[in-house]
Amino acid sequence: MSSNPETLLSQALAGAAAGPQSGLNTPDDAQSDFAYPQREAAFFYGLFLRGHSPEELRRDIAVPPDVLARWTREIERRPEARDVFNRIVEFRRHVLAIFDSLVTSDTRGQRVQ
């Protein structure tokens, strides 16, 4: 799964517009991509374990305000995209919460040793 919020929205919107014969991602594919935020959080946690700063990774996980503004404008033009938009934002928030939990438990474990 791509971690870029702009790419996620583009892929999800393309999938929502695709028919079964189009060869593009279908809405079912997009649904399965969003089913496991733990996988995405584990990817970022692996980067953390390899020395990337948690602040930098949190910025990469979160949907930046300027991206949210662009998505909001896109939803005004295409109201049918609202569900996809909301799903992506909620997914990213869930990934961030899981990542924060992993990082917090990791730093607590280091202090105990």
Q: Is 50 or 12 the better-scoring residue by pLDDT? A: 50
3-state SS of the chain: helix, strand, coil percent to 5? Answer: 80, 0, 20
22-71 pLDDT tens trace: 444 555 555 667 889 999 999 999 999 999 999 999 999 999 999 999 99
Domain layout of the chain by residue ranges: 5-16+25-112
Beta-carbon contacts of residue 18 (< 8 Å; ≥ 6 apart): 24, 25, 26
pTM of the predicted model as reported, rounded to 2 decimal places: 0.70
